[in-house]
Amino acid sequence: MLNTFNRDDPLGTALLTHVGRAFVTEAVLRVGADNNLRCVSHVDVPAAELFGPPGSPGRTYARYVDQGGRVEAIWFTNTTNPWVKVWSVSPQRPLTSRPVVAPYNYPFSDNVPEVVSDLAERLLAGEWALTPTFGQLQYTVAATGLTATLSADLWGRSKNLLLYVKPTTLRETANGYAVHTSRASIQRVIHEFAVYHERSVAAYQARGLYPVTGQVEIRVAGVDRAADSGVPGAAPPALSAARPRADHPDWDVVVWFDVLTFPTAPGAHAFYREMEQFFFATYQGYAAVRAEWSKGWGYTTGAAWADVPFVTGTVPDSYRQGPDPTWDQAVDVLNMFDPHRVFTNPFLDMLLA
């Protein structure tokens, strides 16, 4: 049966964030007016300053958000200075910005240099103690690459500044979590994570384990407000990790965390499991957490998406909080439109039971 859903159809909200339990043949997208953006990179801000306690002076993550509006931090393992990108709306090109007319403007990141791939091979061959050197090398490649390619200050159409990850980028696995909070609490959320992460990495390395070979990535975005679609009567996607909580209108931002590593790094799954427990134990009261669908979650000490209580309890419950729970209704809608369970698999049967 082929059905068409408009943006204001309440049944369609179960499909707007697609979890694989249906087959979507076509989607018509609404887009706003494009803006020219400026992206300035910084590689000289210490992590202790960027991720410092809330209210700290200096170049904090929250201060960059206030100044620019969109920020990403890439914190290579065992390094002190993250790579910070700050995007801002800029109708006219600033004098110091280099104009770009195409996306993918960080070739040193899109195409793995031989010196990086050679060291990666040694790690994957079992020389995991070289992980700190690997992190420092990746930072050096980024810092020198920004200068060599004149990419530290770019300006152009939004797609040319926001598309920067190619299939040739170093392939790693990642976990992912979305922390809902207020804009005023961004720095607190990030600081608490940074303190935990540094301590956890140090504790593992003291045991001779290097579970994080890649980097931490931190981004901040708004919640998924239906009003932004411009369609009267529209509702937020039922299963979006960025779906707002009606009981917390003050939670107007989502802080996205990813930690990347090689899948075979010893101790990685146990490390991810402990981090997952940290997220859901720490961000309560002033914040709340949902898993990022496209990343790893539900960790046991041996695999992702394998912790049955997390998959069948914690994840669904994160959509059942507040006065507008959506999980069970969305599951009912998906079952209604596929009663013979054509579009499913054993994992989805467990998740969407």
| pLDDT tens for each residue of 120-129 | 999 999 999 9
Give yes or no: residues 85 and 112 share one domain: yes
Q: Does the pLDDT of residue 32 top 90, yes or no?
A: no
Note whether residue 21 is domain-resident.
no
pLDDT band of residue 1 (cuts 50, 70, 90) is confident
Note whether residue 277 is domain-resident.
yes
pLDDT score at 301: 98
Q: Does the pLDDT of residue 145 top 90, yes or no?
A: yes
Q: Mark which of 171, 202, 236 sits at the end of a domain.
A: 171
pLDDT score at 168: 86
Average pLDDT estimate for 205-215 = 98
What is the rounded CA–CA span in Å between residue 113 and residue 141?
A: 8
Q: What is the DSSP letter of 296?
A: B
What is the rounded CA–CA span in Å between residue 309 and residue 291?
A: 14
Mean pLDDT of the chain: 97
Note whether residue 74 is domain-resident.
yes
Give yes or no: residues 152 and 223 share one domain: no
Q: What residues does 99 pair with on adjacent strands? A: 155
Give yes or no: residues 309 and 319 share one domain: yes
Give yes or no: residues 39 and 129 share one domain: yes
Give yes or no: residues 138 and 195 share one domain: no
Give yes or no: residues 213 and 340 share one domain: yes
Give yes or no: residues 288 and 201 share one domain: yes
- Structurally, the chain folds into a number of domains equal to 2
| pLDDT tens for each residue of 67-111 | 999 999 999 999 999 999 999 999 999 999 999 999 999 999 988
What is the rounded CA–CA span in Å between residue 326 and residue 278?
A: 25
Note whether residue 17 is domain-resident.
no
pLDDT score at 121: 97
Give yes or no: residues 302 and 198 share one domain: yes
Q: Mark which of 137, 171, 205 sits at the end of a domain.
A: 171
Note whether residue 129 is domain-resident.
yes
The DSSP result for 27-65, as a single string, is -PPP-----EEEEEEE----HHHHTPPTT--SS-HHHHH
Note whether residue 20 is domain-resident.
no
CATH number of domain containing 50? 3.40.462.10
Give yes or no: residues 249 and 177 share one domain: yes
Q: What is the DSSP letter of 348?
A: H
Note whether residue 141 is domain-resident.
yes
* Percent of the chain surpassing pLDDT 70: 100
Tell me how long the chain is.
Answer: 353
Give yes or no: residues 250 and 295 share one domain: yes
Domain that holds residue 73: 34-171
pLDDT band of residue 112 (cuts 50, 70, 90) is confident
pTM: 0.96
Give yes or no: residues 122 and 229 share one domain: no
| pLDDT tens for each residue of 213-267 | 999 999 999 999 999 999 999 999 999 999 999 999 999 999 999 999 999 999 9
Give yes or no: residues 137 and 236 share one domain: no
* Percent of the chain surpassing pLDDT 90: 95
| pLDDT tens for each residue of 288-338 | 999 999 999 999 999 999 999 999 999 999 999 999 999 999 999 999 999
